[in-house]
Structure 1
Amino acid sequence: MAFKESNYWVYKINTILSVIVILIIFGKYLVPDRKKLTNWILFALIVINIFSTFSGDGVTSYNSYSAALVSFVIVGYCLYYFYSRLLMSSPEDSVPSTPIFWCIVGLFTYFAGAFFIFISYKYLIEADVATIGTLWRFHNLLLVICCLYISYGILCKTYQMT
């Protein structure tokens, strides 16, 4: 059963909403010292995504480069979070024992892997369109791993703290 309508517009909305939610959380709670920079980056990413939609990509094709850019930025925020926690935490504090650490590990794992999928997407489907199924299965595996890390952080680590 072949569908005539493309669902690429859903990916565009997902990309924009993901970056909005994740960067708001980073800017407000996790790296508040970079809130102004986060707001500018968020604004720039939204403008880039909207511009790419109206300047040729439209909603009928998948712009993997804008998704790769979003992934790159989120990976950068995850790395900055890890770095800042290592510098600011005392030797008595165990950063991995906090629930948010595992949530950030999940985001980092997903977006780091997704970055490489998105950046090579056009090349891979042009080389062999049959690879698209394998590519998205790997993407889904990354998403499952992300959800497992986040679940571990929320369920197990929060439970241990009570």
Structure 2
Amino acid sequence: MWLVIRRAIDYFDTIPPLILLILAVATLVQLKRNYVIYYIACQFVFNGYANLLNELEIDNLYVYTLNFTWSFFILSLYFIDVYKSPVLARLVLTIVVLFQVISLFHVQEATTEITFNSVSFGIISLLVTGYSLIYYTKQLSGQPKENILGVRDFWYVNGIFTYYASNFFIFLTYNMLVSKHYSNISIIWRVHNFVFLAMCIYIFIGLRCKQSPEKLKSSS
């Protein structure tokens, strides 16, 4: 029984994104410039491929490197869209361009040597957490025009913040734990999958909320 439960947890990073994608299509969610849906699709593709390689007992670490690189790019576009601030947009664009240029060397190394750059993962987690905190600050500093609990982006950001902030130390120290042959490394990654599931639940709630008036105007 425990073996079945462990196997199910291993796919918490693949099945929930698939369900969210099906829900988005079934409910006719606006897909144009819906970067969170693009992000979820990215998770499904890369995590699903990584799980497939794992089933075939093939090294899959480089897939996670590609996943994080693309995820960071997509989420940066999402926060630029949410902020609607030229200053913050230039700041985020500068960060993402610098990171993408630097990460090209790491991706090439990862695909040839099957490595896992956990330090880069930790940096990405810190940056995305910072993006989320800027969003919260903007929401708190302005006079709310509507109940924030009914705003889609609020739940999206809650999910993103929960995932990246909670897993920061896991990502940052993963290489060290692997190098020291830490016996409970699989348990740590299952904790990661539980947090990933929590993010998907937040995004599910967001999908059931309305878009902000600004988003509706920009998509029309």
TM-score range, shorter chain: 0.7 to 0.9
Answer yes or no: is the 8 Å Cα contact 2:62–2:111 preserved in 1.
no
Rate the CA distance shift 1:84–1:127 in 2: closer, same or farther, 3 A: same
Deviations along 1:46-99, one digit per CA (max 9) or x if unpaired, are 122112234688551111111111111110000000000111233x63323312
Of the candidates 191, 197, 210, which is equivalent to residue 158 of structure 1?
A: 210
The equivalent residue for 2:202 is 149
Q: TM-score, normalised by structure 2?
A: 0.64
Rate the CA distance shift 1:53–1:153 in 2: closer, same or farther, 3 A: closer
Of the candidates 164, 175, 182, which is equivalent to residue 129 of structure 1?
A: 182
Tell me how far 1:109 sits from its aligned partner: 0.3
Does residue 97 of structure 1 match 2:179?
Answer: no
Rate the CA distance shift 1:127–1:26 in 2: closer, same or farther, 3 A: same
Q: 1:158 aligns to what SS in structure 2?
A: coil
Does residue 23 of structure 1 match 2:70?
Answer: no
The alignment covers a number of residue pairs equal to: 155
Of the candidates 109, 114, 120, which is equivalent to residue 60 of structure 1?
A: 114
Q: CA RMSD in A?
A: 2.2
The equivalent residue for 2:142 is 88
Partner Cα separation in structure 2 for residue 14 and residue 55 of structure 1:
15
Rate the CA distance shift 1:2–1:97 in 2: closer, same or farther, 3 A: closer
Q: Which amino acid aligns with 2:72?
A: V
The equivalent residue for 2:215 is none
Moved more, 49-58 or 125-134: 49-58
Does residue 75 of structure 1 match 2:129?
Answer: yes
The equivalent residue for 1:13 is 66
- In terms of fraction of residues, the more helix-rich structure is 1
Unaligned runs of 5+ in 2: 1-54, 212-220
Deviations along 1:86-123, one digit per CA (max 9) or x if unpaired, are 11233x63323312101100000001112111112123
Q: 1:62 aligns to what SS in structure 2?
A: coil
Partner Cα separation in structure 2 for residue 129 and residue 64 of structure 1:
15
Rate the CA distance shift 1:66–1:151 in 2: closer, same or farther, 3 A: same
Q: 2:167 aligns to what SS in structure 1?
A: helix
